[in-house]
């Protein structure tokens, strides 16, 4: 079975931990979109790993990790990550494959992003300043540079022409320190020397893996509500974080996806600007942020926190055809007497049950809450469903009912072992025995 694991909220749902947990049951883990704006955190026996570009499967020695054409790659960020892993005793070796069609994040992309955000002023998006948006803009504008292009970094080759033009365009927009296109080209040549052994045709590698009967886990970054098409536009990232991104971002047919697992937090968070109907400001939000340690894994920014939003959840289920959910951070709610869940929105006196397309409309929606009893006892580290207090089980059951999808995995802490794999036929189908 090939399984897609993706975020069903605004990112940071805990995908890294879930992918790491499931990875030993899969021969291949493949990332299909985003870049080093993502920060997938995995704890193994107290040791913390934060992965930005390399799939979280890398922590398992038998797993091949693939970075697809839909990902945008900053070569320096990738090399830094490979070195960080090596320092922690994890050799990437022959286990990494990088698509020759993946686009490169160039040094001028970061400059252009800072400029665009400054120009937007109050309407800024609150991006991660990694050059993600401008790299995707150049891809769509057909002036982008692909990893495979780095094979010829000669001063007279076609790549040199594109770099020269793009750097000149950057220099026209940004006053002050001029960028030197030849220096940029020189750095690309150095990157190619290091990355070249891993560069390949990823679509072909995945087809061969499937023929050889190796199961593939497709790893998403960000989340459905940050999707460029279906998210809270314009407060979104620049790629398709929803299920369609798997096919376009890896060159695999839709029938290669046998199941879709959506990862959600037991509450909601968001980093950056844009509407968040269930946001808790003041002390309540601060409490969730502190107990959930809600600070960006990539940028360190404090995350905005709020109650679980079932309207948004149902939308993510519909968009992605989620077969099941993994609910993370259940333990963060341990201290609460009561927990609210948003079941609908109210706007101009009318009830809305469907997620609106327009961010302005969403921003003017008021959440309609249902209040559930909290459990006021620790679930931290629980590994069996029977270890959960009845109120926690009832909370999960209500989320399942509202989402219209079963929760097959519950996460009760940051470590790999702080997890409940529920006795469910879907999980059995996907990974064999859940024990």
Q: Which stretch binds ligand IMP (CB under 6 A): 121-129, 307-315, 347-355, 380-388?
A: 121-129
**Smallest separation, CB 219 to ligand IMP (Å):** 12
* Candidate residues 191, 237, 328, 414; the one interacting with ligand IMP per rule CB under 6 A: 237
Please choose, from the candidates 219, 405, 435, the residue with its C-alpha nearest in 3D space to the C-alpha of residue 324: 405
125 near ligand IMP, judged by CB under 6 A: yes
* Candidate residues 2, 5, 8, 11; the one interacting with ligand IMP per rule CB under 6 A: 11
133 near ligand IMP, judged by CB under 6 A: yes
Distance (Å, rounded) from C-alpha 146 to C-alpha 307?
41
Catalytic residue among 20, 36, 40, 418: 40
271 near ligand IMP, judged by CB under 6 A: yes
Please give the structure tokens belonging to residue 95: 């286990």
Distance (Å, rounded) from C-alpha 188 to C-alpha 186?
5
152 noted as active-site residue: no
Q: For residues 150 and 189, is the Cβ–Cβ distance under 8 A?
A: yes
Distance (Å, rounded) from C-alpha 398 to C-alpha 333?
15
262 near ligand IMP, judged by CB under 6 A: no
- Give the residue at shortest CB distance from ligand IMP: 272
13 near ligand IMP, judged by CB under 6 A: no
**Smallest separation, CB 74 to ligand IMP (Å):** 12
126 near ligand IMP, judged by CB under 6 A: yes
302 near ligand IMP, judged by CB under 6 A: no
Q: Nearer Cβ to ligand IMP, position 127 or 268?
A: 127
191 near ligand IMP, judged by CB under 6 A: no
Please give the structure tokens belonging to residue 125: 């998006």
**Smallest separation, CB 122 to ligand IMP (Å):** 15
Q: Which residues contact 168 (CB under 8 A, 6 or more apart)?
A: 181
Q: Nearer Cβ to ligand IMP, position 131 or 406?
A: 131
9 near ligand IMP, judged by CB under 6 A: no
249 near ligand IMP, judged by CB under 6 A: no
**Smallest separation, CB 371 to ligand IMP (Å):** 28
* Candidate residues 238, 278, 412, 419; the one interacting with ligand IMP per rule CB under 6 A: 238
**Smallest separation, CB 37 to ligand IMP (Å):** 4
230 noted as active-site residue: no
Q: Which stretch binds ligand IMP (CB under 6 A): 23-31, 158-166, 231-239, 399-407?
A: 231-239
37 near ligand IMP, judged by CB under 6 A: yes
Q: Nearer Cβ to ligand IMP, position 44 or 114?
A: 114
Between vectors from CA 98 to CA 70 and to CA 64, what angle results, nearest 5°?
Answer: 110
111 near ligand IMP, judged by CB under 6 A: no
Ramachandran angles phi, psi of 187, nearest 5°: -70, -35
Q: Which residues bind ligand IMP (CB under 6 A)?
A: 11-12, 37-39, 125-128, 130, 132-133, 221-222, 226, 235, 237-238, 271-272
Known catalytic residues are 12, 40
């Amino acid at each position: 079975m090939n399984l897609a694991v993706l975020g069903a909220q605004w990112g940071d749902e805990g995908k890294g931990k879930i992918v790491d947990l499931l990875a030993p049951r899969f021969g291949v883990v493949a990332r299909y979109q985003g870049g080093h704006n993502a920060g997938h955190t995995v704890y193994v026996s107290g040791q913390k790993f934060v992965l930005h570009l390399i799939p979280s499967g890398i922590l398992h020695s038998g797993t091949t990790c693939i970075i697809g054409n839909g990902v945008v790659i900053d070569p320096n960020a990738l090399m830094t990550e490979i070195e960080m892993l090596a320092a922690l005793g994890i050799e990437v070796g022959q286990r990494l494959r990088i698509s020759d069609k993946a686009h490169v994040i160039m040094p001028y992309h970061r400059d252009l992003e800072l400029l665009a955000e400054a120009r937007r002023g109050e309407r800024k998006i609150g991006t991660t300043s990694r050059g993600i948006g401008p790299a995707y803009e150049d891809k769509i504008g057909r002036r982008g540079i692909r990893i495979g292009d780095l094979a010829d970094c000669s001063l007279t080759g076609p790549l040199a022409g594109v770099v020269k033009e793009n750097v000149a365009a950057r220099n026209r927009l940004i006053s002050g320190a001029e960028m030197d296109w030849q220096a940029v080209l020189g750095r690309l040549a150095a990157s190619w020397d290091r990355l070249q052994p891993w560069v390949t045709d990823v679509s072909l590698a995945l087809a061969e893996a499937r023929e050889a009967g190796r199961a593939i886990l497709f790893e998403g970054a960000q989340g459905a509500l940050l999707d460029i098409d279906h998210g809270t536009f314009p407060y979104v990232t620049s790629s398709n974080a929803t299920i369609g991104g798997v096919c376009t971002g890896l060159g695999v047919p839709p029938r290669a996806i046998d199941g879709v697992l959506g990862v959600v937090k037991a509450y909601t968070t968001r980093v950056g600007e844009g509407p968040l109907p269930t946001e808790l400001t003041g002390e309540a939000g601060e409490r969730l942020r502190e107990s959930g340690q809600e600070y960006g894994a990539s940028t360190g920014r404090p995350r905005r926190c709020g109650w679980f939003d079932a309207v948004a959840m149902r939308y993510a289920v519909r968009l992605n055809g989620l077969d099941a959910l993994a609910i993370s951070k259940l333990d963060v709610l341990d201290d609460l007497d009561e927990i609210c869940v948003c079941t609908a929105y109210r706007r101009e006196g009318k009830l809305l049950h469907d997620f609106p397309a327009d961010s302005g409309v969403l921003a003017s929606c008021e959440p309609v809450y249902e209040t559930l009893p909290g459990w006021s006892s620790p679930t931290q580290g629980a590994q069996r469903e029977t270890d959960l207090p009845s109120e926690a089980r009832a909370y999960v059951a209500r989320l399942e009912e509202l989402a219209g999808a079963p929760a097959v995995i519950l996460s009760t802490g940051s470590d790999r072992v702080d997890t409940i794999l529920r006795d469910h036929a879907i999980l059995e189908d996907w990974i064999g025995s859940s024990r």
